[in-house]
Amino acid sequence: MAVSEHRISGRRALVSLKVVAARPITESPAARYVWAVARIALGWVFFWAFLDKAFGLGHETPAGKGWIDGGSPTEGFLAHAPKGPLAGFYNDLAGLAWADWLFMLGLAGIGAALMLGMGMRLAAGAGAVLLVMMWAAVLPPENNPFMDDHLVYALLAVGLALVSAGDTLGLGRWWAGTPLVRRLPFLK
């Protein structure tokens, strides 16, 4: 707070001035809610993929071909879709039990963390890695020389963690205050 001296009608008066800095746009209520809704939407993209692949809900995974029915959540895509310089690497992963488990745990965990607003740093990092791997499987992308939705989603995931999007419409603020997260801040 700044204090300045002024003369009013021959008398000396002290006037205090409060200096207020403008808030960054990411701290405005409207921006916080937009980021929160984007976080929940991206979380749903991941979680829906998990549900469809796990239970064969008929969207991308036909009924009766879900993971619980003995189907492989990685085999269809990794055996047939990869192209470009990394196709052989991804083809070799198709249908491997450990790849199925890692993929499905990733989809469920990333989706749940984003929708709840907890573990945003881990979810953003893991989500970005998974999305970049999915992008790399189909190089070059079909509709652009290099950019596709996987890279956009990866950038969005990292941005959501950077602006603490889990604190609005989520459990991020509570999660950050837990003893575990205070001791291990990378879990925030």
Q: In this structure, is residue 9 part of a structural domain?
A: no
Specify the pTM: 0.85
Report residue 183 as tokens. 């001791």
Please tell me the total number of residues recorded for the chain in this structure. 188
Q: How far apart are CA 30 and CA 38, in angstroms?
A: 12
pLDDT at 69 over 60: yes
Strand partners for 138: 83
Give the mean model confidence (pLDDT) for residues 56-83.
95
| Cα-trace Rg, the chain | 24
- Into how many domains does the chain fold? 1
* The predicted structure's pLDDT at residue 182: 97
Q: How far apart are CA 172 and CA 156, in angstroms?
A: 17
pLDDT at 20 over 80: no
Structural domain of 103: 25-187
> What secondary structure letter does DSSP report for 95?
T
Give the mean model confidence (pLDDT) for residues 167-174.
97
> What secondary structure letter does DSSP report for 118?
-
**What pLDDT band is residue 36 in, cutting at 50, 70 and 90?**
very high
Q: In this structure, is residue 162 part of a structural domain?
A: yes
Rounded to the nearest integer, the mean pLDDT of the chain is 91
**What pLDDT band is residue 142 in, cutting at 50, 70 and 90?**
confident
Give the mean model confidence (pLDDT) for residues 168-187.
97
pLDDT at 3 over 90: no
Q: In this structure, is residue 20 part of a structural domain?
A: no
* The predicted structure's pLDDT at residue 38: 98
pLDDT at 9 over 50: yes
